Amino acid sequence: METGSPADAGATETEPVWTGLPPGLLRMRRLLLVVWLGLLAPAVGLLPGLLAGPVWAAFALLPLAAMAWGWVLLGRNWRSWRYAERADDLLISRGVLWREETVVPYGRMQLVEVTSGPVERYFGLASVQLHTAAAATDAAIPGLDPAEAERLRDRLTELGEARSAGL
């Protein structure tokens, strides 16, 4: 008696190996959340408190509630990001409520960039931006370790050149 269909057996062999984003990206995003909403809370509470009375200073609780909600949402969003390198393409998956999976064939890649802004550099992070022939399929992987971002850029560039040689 057969336990599964042949399609099921093939699915386990070709299952991609997913890599998640490093925790530094989550730390950076949460710190930015705390800084911006932490600065907003006294401003939102102080102005109404001085102009309309101390009861109105309770408006300072709104940014603090948004901070708590954002803290949880940032964690869920960070956990949803992952990527996988396969033989012919790169998979990028993200999203909590609306899952989005992007498949970028190596042969279609035209440019692979590694970028790192000042805040990212401070946290030791870099992003990989993939540009393809179709603008709709451009993709990015944020918050990688710079060494991993450079390794990925070099590998994707090498595979892209090898795959596009036949076009």
pTM to 2 decimal places: 0.79
**Which among 27-36, 60-69, 100-109, 125-134 has the top mean pLDDT?**
27-36
Cα(150)–Cα(10) distance, integer angstroms: 32
157 SS3 class: helix
In the chain, % of residues over pLDDT 90: 54
Give the pLDDT score at 13.
54
Angle between helix axes 61-80 and 23-52 (nearest 10 degrees) is 170
**pLDDT at 137 (0 to 100):** 64
Indicate the DSSP class of residue 87: S
Q: Which of 86, 94, 70 is nearest to 13 (CA)?
A: 86
Q: State the average pLDDT over residues 85-93.
A: 91
pLDDT attached to residue 165 = 53
The pLDDT of residue 6 is above 70: no
| Average pLDDT of the chain to the nearest whole number | 85
Is residue 21 classed as helix, strand or coil in its secondary structure? coil
For CA atoms 131, 78, 20, 153, give the dihedral sign: positive
pLDDT band at 11 (very low <50, low <70, confident <90, very high): very low
Confidence of residue 1 (pLDDT cuts 50, 70, 90): very low
Sole residue written with tokens 């299952």: 15
pLDDT score at 141:
94
Contacts of residue 59, defined as CB under 8 A and 6 or more positions apart, other chains included, come to 44, 45, 48
104-161 pLDDT, tens digit each = 888 888 889 999 999 999 999 999 999 887 766 678 999 999 999 999 999 998 888 8
Rounded Cα gap, residues 147 and 126, in angstroms: 9
Residue 55: pLDDT band with limits 50, 70, 90 = confident
What band does 29 get if pLDDT is binned at 50, 70 and 90? very high
Q: How far is CA 111 from CA 46, 66, 83, 106, in A?
A: 49, 38, 18, 11
